[in-house]
Amino acid sequence: MTNEEIKKILLEGNYITPEDITRAEKNMNKGGSLVDYLIDEGIITVSIFGQATAEFFQVPYTNLGSYPLSKNDIIKIPEDIAKKFKVVVVTDAPEEVVVATDNPKEVELIKALELIFKKKKITITYALPESITNLFVAYQKPLETRFSKIIEGNTRVAPEIIDEIIGDAINLNASDIHIEPLTDEVVIRFRIDGVMQEAGRIKKQFYENILNRIKVQGKLRIDEHYGAQDGSIRYQQKDKKYIDMRISIIPTIDGEKIVIRLLGEYVRGLETGDLGLSKDDENIINEAARKPFGMILVTGPTGAGKSTTLYALVRSLNSPRVNITTIEDPVEYRITGVNQVQVNPLTNLTFAKGLRSIVRQDPDIVLVGEIRDTETAEIAVNAALTGHLLLSTFHANDAATAIPRLLNMGIEPFLLASTLELIVAQRLVRRICMHCRYSVTIPKTQLIKKFKQAQNYFEEENVTLYEGKGCEECNNTGYIGRTGIFEFIKITPEIQNLILTNPASGQVWTEARKSGTQNLFEDGIDKVKNGITTIDELLRVAEPSRDYLSK
């Protein structure tokens, strides 16, 4: 649809005013999309636009995003017809079939549907084109069927198999691909939302070519079979977009195992508003990050999303007016406008050495991938003291423990007290799938059996919680994607004084509690009550607190 047509539809339906159009035409980029502008400015939403267009065509509107569609129904329309006319089956009952298309008046489409559904009543509804094409994943055959086809065809077996594996991993939003040789087979597994799932298997005879191709693309040694190797690939997808991947190969008794981490655009685009922070926490982190100097530390075990949080912070702070330099091991995501340095043991470029040189170049903001040793910690503290905002991760289970651990590394208490601004601890929990979420009401007594602290967290006798039923959107797991749960210790003047006394973590925590700090579990409980995650998921990643914060 052209901008003129869209203008007509929205004006006729009274979804916007002529003044909105005047303003849009004045401020919009030349040749830009009117719909994108109106949505970005918050004048209309995606579903209002869908609704308006449906009214224009005089058919009902289907919001496919909120509709649990069945793969079996979708494939009732042959793939070529579905793609030609952009059409999907919404529901298929004995008497009537409902379809959604972005072209409801197309005569050829109606003829084709009559041939497929014979005597049934056909109801045509409107849906937005992208929401339709997203569903065409339903036509994908299982990975193994596609493997057999590729092997039959017998040319370029390895590259085609690798393309299929990576394509599927991207479609399913996997974070990692594990390609693991067994005695006579190779199993391919994807890590999706933190959980491993088998994706397919292939005969071992094809493995060597696959392994070699990945090694060549990752600039690794083909003749090395007994050592661990790490590399990276900038992979071009079928739609020509690039995705960065980190490759790691380790020898096992059945051969070399490949692990590919997909470094998605999606993480690169994240800002602090997307992390799942509460409004209070978001204000605290933004305030700390706006100071011209000081130190913000993110703690948590591996896989807790620490670097995602730091990258989001860097993105929020990134502007042409500030210089941001990072030292990382490895550089996970490239960010435009940021100077990124990779730790390299071969050239003796360690965190400590790199950080020392970076500080000499006088950047405004420095991101240190991880503070692992005393030397790095000392340089970091000095940098934070001398007019740099320093961001880093630190291995500690909770925020309060970070302080005694840094002091034990030999950092002077008065230096730490005057530089530290904020300590964040975090974990990741899986989000409930919005396509199949439903609520359940259970007696509080039952929750208390699950964990006795439930007593404190839920007031009502019957508690309403949420779960995912499992649907095609979420691969029947009931979860899609992840979000963070956080614990924030803001360094107040009281905590600064406490640091001077070499405190134990318990003392730090007691002091932080006085200013209303929530722990990981409590932040998680808010997300459970709001239907973002489940109580079981929260109990999997965080422990109920010993001390209860009454609000």
Where do contacts with Zn ion occur on this chain (CB under 5 A)?
433, 435-436, 468, 471, 473-474
326: left (phi over 0), alpha (psi -120 to 50) or beta: beta
Contact 337, 326 (CB under 8 A): no
Cβ 472 to Zn ion, closest distance in Å?
A: 7
Contact 484, 533 (CB under 8 A): no
Instruction: Give whole-number Cα distances, 265 to 36, 48, 242, 457, 480, in Å.
Output: 20, 27, 9, 37, 17
With CB atoms as reference, the residue minimizing the distance to Zn ion is 433
Contact 407, 441 (CB under 8 A): no
**Closer of 216 and 440 to Zn ion (Cβ):** 440
Cβ 532 to Zn ion, closest distance in Å?
A: 14
* Residue 395 three-state SS: coil
Contact 101, 124 (CB under 8 A): yes
Cβ 429 to Zn ion, closest distance in Å?
A: 16
**Closer of 202 and 474 to Zn ion (Cβ):** 474
**Closer of 33 and 134 to Zn ion (Cβ):** 134
Query: 467: which residues sit within 8 A by CB, 6+ positions away?
Result: 432, 437, 438, 440, 478, 534
**Closer of 417 and 480 to Zn ion (Cβ):** 480
CB-based burial, 130-146: b 16+ in 10 Å, e otherwise = ebbeebeebeeeebeeb
Cβ 165 to Zn ion, closest distance in Å?
A: 24
**Closer of 359 and 433 to Zn ion (Cβ):** 433
Torsion angle in degrees (nearest 10) through CA of 23, 26, 32, 37: -20
**Closer of 104 and 468 to Zn ion (Cβ):** 468
Residue pointed to by tokens 């071969």: 346
| DSSP assignment letter at 345 | G
Cβ 414 to Zn ion, closest distance in Å?
A: 53
The 3 state secondary structure assigned to 135-198 is HHHHHCCCHHHHHHHHHHHCCCHHHHHHHHHHHHHHHCCEEEEEEEECCCEEEEEEEECCEEEE
**Closer of 13 and 194 to Zn ion (Cβ):** 194
Cβ 540 to Zn ion, closest distance in Å?
A: 19
Cβ 433 to Zn ion, closest distance in Å?
A: 3
H or E stretch covering 27: helix 18-27
**Closer of 169 and 471 to Zn ion (Cβ):** 471
Cβ 285 to Zn ion, closest distance in Å?
A: 31
Tokens read off for 194: 């933190």
Contact 300, 425 (CB under 8 A): yes
Cβ 469 to Zn ion, closest distance in Å?
A: 7
**Closer of 229 and 534 to Zn ion (Cβ):** 534
